[in-house]
Chain A
Amino acid sequence: MYPTDYRYTKDHEWIKAEGGIGTIGITDYAQQELGDVVFVELPRVGAHLKAGASLGTVESVKAVSEIFSPVSGEVTETNATLADAPETINKDPHRAAWFVKVRLANPAEANGLMDAAAYQAYIAGKAKEHSA
C-alpha cells in the first residue's frame, strides 16, 4: 500500500526522490481523511519551496487543507490533470495524483523523513489514538 521507495511526513505528504528530483503528493491516509477532493491549488513552476512551508491547498467538499512541502527546492513541474480531475487524488493518491516535481536543494534531505514502515506505524498509532 505505501510504496517502500517513498518517504513520508507527519502531515501525510509523500516524496519520491530520484536523481535530484523529488515528486510530491499526499498519502492514501490523507485522502481518506479528506473525503472527496474537489479542488487543488498548486504552486507555479519556478516557485521556491521550503521544507515545512505550505506549497498549496487541497480542498474537500467541506474543508480547505494546506499541503506542506517535505523538502526545499524549485518547482520544475506541476500535475495539470489535477485541475480538471481533482478526484484523482482519491482514486490514485500515490501515483497518478502527484502534485509537483521539485529540483531538490539538498538531495539527501528526504532521507531524514519516515520510511513506509515508520509511516504505517505512525498512522496505526493515530487510529489507536482516535479510538481511545
Chain B
Amino acid sequence: MTTPATAELHKTALNATHRRLGAKMVDFGGWDMPLEYSGILAEHEAVRTRAGLFDVSHMGEIDIRGAGALDLVQWVTCNNAAKLTVGQAQYSGLMTTTGTFVDDLLVHKLSDTHYLLCVNAGNQDADFEHIVSANRFDAKAENAGARYSQLAIQGPRAKEILQRLTSVPLDPIRYYHFAFGKVDGVECLIARTGYTGEDGFEIYFEPELSNKLWSALLAAGESAGMLPCGLGARNTLRLEAGMCLYGHEIDETTTPWEAGLGWICKPDKGPFLGHDALRRQKEAGIRRKLIGFEMLDKRIARDGYPVFVGGREAGRVTSGGPAPFLKKNIGMAYVPPNSASAGAEIEISVRGQSAPARIIALPFYKRPH
C-alpha cells in the first residue's frame, strides 16, 4: 500500500520509481524517501550476503573551490584533509567552536583547488551556512545538492555488479578512494565508500539520467540477487556496523573523543574551529563515552530508552534495535568512562521494565572479506 507525498516534502529524481516499485514511503528529514520495498530484514540480508541498491540522493553535497579550498576545509573540519591525495576521501566532522559536531561528512579531494563534501540530508543548509560564515579564505563554497543524484551499491557482490556497467576498473579503486568514469554511459564520481559495513560504492552524477541508471543497476544486479533497499535497512546496517548517525550518537553536544571518533580528530594538524576546546578535553579527559551493548533477553532497546549502570541512570540509548545478521538486539549509549568496559552488565529500561544488557566492543559487525 503506497503512502501519499505531501506537497512540502523534497523528492529525489527517483521518487516515482520508488512508488512504482511499491516502496513504503516515509518522511525523512523533509524528504519523501523509501523506507522499504520487500522488507527491512530481506533488504538487510541482501546487503550482507549479496548486494543492495540505495537511492541516497537526499544527501547533501557542498563544493569547495579555489586556491584556499584546502585552508577552508581544514578550518571547518577536525580531520586532516592535507593528508588527502587527489582521488582520496576521508570521514570527518564539521566542528562548532566548542569541538562538537555540526555534522559528520565525507571530504573528497578532487584537485588541490577542489574538494567535494558529502553531508547529511537534514543538515545541508545549516552546514552550508556554517561553512560560508567561517570562510575567510580564497575559496568559494557552493551548496550543490540539487546538482547531484547519488546511489549506493553495497554488498560482497556490489563490485561485480557495478563492473558490468562501467569500463573503469573497479578493483584498483581502494577503500575511501574514488575515480571518474561512465556508468551505463552516465558520467559519475565512483567512490569506494558506504554506510553499511560492507564493500561497495557510492556514485555521484547529474540527476537527469537517474532513472536510467537506477534501472540499469537493478537489471545488472538481478541475477546476483541484488535488491532495492530503503532507509530502514540503511539504518539497521549502519547500526550493526557500529556507525554513528547524526542526531543520535553525535550532535552539537558531543565531541569526537566522546563518540569514539578520535581517529578522525587531528588537533596536531593546525588551528581549526573547535581546536582549543578539543585539546582541553583531550587533556582533562572525557566525562562520557559511547559504548555498544547487546540485550541479554529477547527484548529490544529503542532510541531514547534510559540506561542504568550500577543501578544509577547513566544516559539514554542513542540508537537501538535488532541486528538482523547477527541475530541479536543491540544499541549504543553514552556511559561514564569508568563504567565503559566490555563485559560490564547494564540495564535498559524498556517501557518501565528493567532489561539486562552487556557492553560489547564496537563495531558489532565487521565484514569477513
Contact = CB atoms under 8 A, between A and B. Distances in A.
Interface of A: 32-33, 35-36, 38-39, 57, 59, 61-62, 64, 83, 87, 90, 127, 130-132
Contacts of B42: 36
Nearest to A39: B300
Given A62-B232, A132-B4, A38 B302 contact: no
Interface in B60-101: none
Given A61-B322, A62-B321, A35 B1 contact: no
B130 interface: no
A132 B3 CA distance: 10
B302 A64 contact: yes
B4 A130 contact: yes
Nearest to B2: A131
Interface string B24-66: 1000000000011001111000000000000000000000000
Contacts of B351: 57, 64
A90 B41 CA distance: 12
Given A39-B299, A39-B300, A61-B232, A130 B40 contact: no
Contacts of A57: 351
Contact of A127 (B1, B24, B40, B232): B1
Nearest to A132: B4
Contacts of A131: 2, 4
Contacts of B36: 35
Interface string B1-27: 111100000000000000000001000
B193 interface: no
Contacts of A36: 39-42
B368 to A, nearest CB: 24
Interface residues of B, number: 22
Contact of B40 (A33, A59, A62, A83): A62
Residue with the greatest number of chain B CB neighbours at <10 A, chosen from A36, A39, A87: A36
Given A61-B321, A62-B232, A35 B24 contact: yes
Closest 9 CB pairs of A and B: A36-B41, A61-B40, A38-B322, A36-B39, A131-B4, A36-B40, A39-B300, A61-B322, A59-B300
A130 B300 CA distance: 30
Interface string B269-303: 00000000000000000000000000000111010
29 contacts: A35-B24, A35-B35, A35-B36, A35-B39, A35-B40, A35-B232, A36-B39, A36-B41, A38-B41, A38-B300, A38-B322, A39-B298, A57-B351, A61-B40, A61-B232, A61-B322, A61-B324, A62-B35, A62-B40, A62-B321, A64-B300, A64-B302, A64-B351, A83-B298, A130-B1, A130-B3, A130-B4, A131-B4, A132-B4
